[in-house]
Structure 1
């Protein structure tokens, strides 16, 4: 079975057991390690693998063909994307400094960018200027080097942005949680609707359970894909993004997804869609 997910520690930790044939009855995986911008576009073009990790923000474009699995993804609290600027910027905590400026984002259909658009509509007078899409690991160096005015970052950047001399302008997760009281939906696991979605759910959940029961078993696999990340940062990344919502979205998880995508649809930021498809 073909599957696509990122090389980030949370994804490799979650899928380690399945990828290594440790889940009874689960099919062998043919894995594509891909940045979220790639998988978001593959899903939209219906050209991607049977199972994929995409942004929750990309779901409205693909739900007619792909089902949302209620496990395996990334959703939680205190784990939102960050808006970063150079540390020596004037008025470093004033969102108005982004008016008309160039901002780098990891994907135009990422949850990070969707949250940023919702936040900017309330906080940046006149809106930002040019949006530049680039791989997430290139964003912080670009901000540091003055190639862009601000960057929207995800993943382990939460733990490393200070190393680039950057300033935290806003935490999108904190903003969302204060605004709604709900956790933040980041990455979703989807599968083509013609497949046995229940079995895929069971195998994915079993892989999550194995990872928690055997936390050291995946270490070599995780670090081999961790893009020069230190073991300490990789562990912090896993601890933050792999949580009870990874095991099961539950009522609170579905409420957060519905709130985010429902609001985005009302503002015309994503296509209108049947919210009931989230559970079908």
Structure 2
């Protein structure tokens, strides 16, 4: 069966799909074609249901009734997650009155920050452009994801808010639900679970062969040093990535319970394989 998979040009996604896309983990059931796109573009493409499997923000799942969340391939922070950066040490209490750059309205980072500080003025831009926009004064602050969570200090910026830490403390240690993989419901549940196992095996292979998987991931390093990329990958490819288990599922359901109560998303039927 031929299927098309969307994943981001990020080192952690590349690490997860390394075994699958290089043929190190073969499948008798699936022939894979992969598409690379920014996470917010994949979120929007999922709305059109034009990819068989795709990485999406957990937040985007609120708008994807025709997809099932896979148990493997999720990006969960363990006590860490998105942060807000600025040029100067501004007070977090002033953030709702300032203009904040965000990496997309359907990103989980945006939803989490809304849950944390309430509504605020924002402008959308590509996540990798946010540090420069903050540094150049185009915005007052920036909500950063991916490896920019680790590299902001190299651009003389400072962290003023830790969204991942807030979630960790306010939920008694639930993992921070950020990204996931979904499969179109045009496939039956047996096929969805079969692909879920294939992805599970690809992630496990990467963790068992970390050096070669990291070497493969460096093609998506965006010029960042190997040590930083290795640290980032090890943060977001963790045991909950292999299988979200009860903690991962609970964190996703809790995120949407909070968002529904605050009117940030409408109530919907969450489907997990």
Does the CA-based 8 Å contact 1:16-1:221 persist in structure 2? yes
Q: Distance in 2 between matches of 1:113 and 1:99?
A: 13
Residue in structure 2 matched with residue 107 of structure 1 by the alignment: 104
The structural deviation recorded for 1:93 is 5.1
Q: Distance in 1 between matches of 2:231 and 2:52?
A: 30
RMSD, matched Cα:
1.4
Q: Which runs of 5+ in 2 are unaligned?
A: none
Does the CA-based 8 Å contact 1:76-1:245 persist in structure 2? no
Q: Which runs of 5+ in 1 are unaligned?
A: 122-126
Q: Distance in 2 between matches of 1:76 and 1:219?
A: 19
1:40-59 aligned at under 5 Å gives the runs 40-47=43-50, 49-59=51-61
The structural deviation recorded for 1:167 is 1.5
Does the CA-based 8 Å contact 2:40-2:104 persist in structure 1? yes
Candidates 260, 263, 268, aligned match of 1:268: 263
Residue in structure 1 matched with residue 71 of structure 2 by the alignment: 70
The structural deviation recorded for 1:112 is 0.1
- Secondary structure at 1:103 match in 2: strand
The structural deviation recorded for 1:257 is 0.6
Q: Distance in 2 between matches of 1:262 and 1:221?
A: 38
The structural deviation recorded for 1:157 is 1.3
Task: Indicate whether 1:154 and 2:145 are aligned.
Answer: yes
Candidates 159, 162, 165, aligned match of 1:174: 165
Q: Distance in 1 between matches of 2:47 and 2:96?
A: 31
The structural deviation recorded for 1:166 is 1.0
Dislocated runs of 4+, deviation >6 Å: none
Residue in structure 1 matched with residue 42 of structure 2 by the alignment: 39
The number of residues matched between the two structures is 266
Residue in structure 1 matched with residue 216 of structure 2 by the alignment: 221
- TM-score normalised to structure 2 length: 0.93
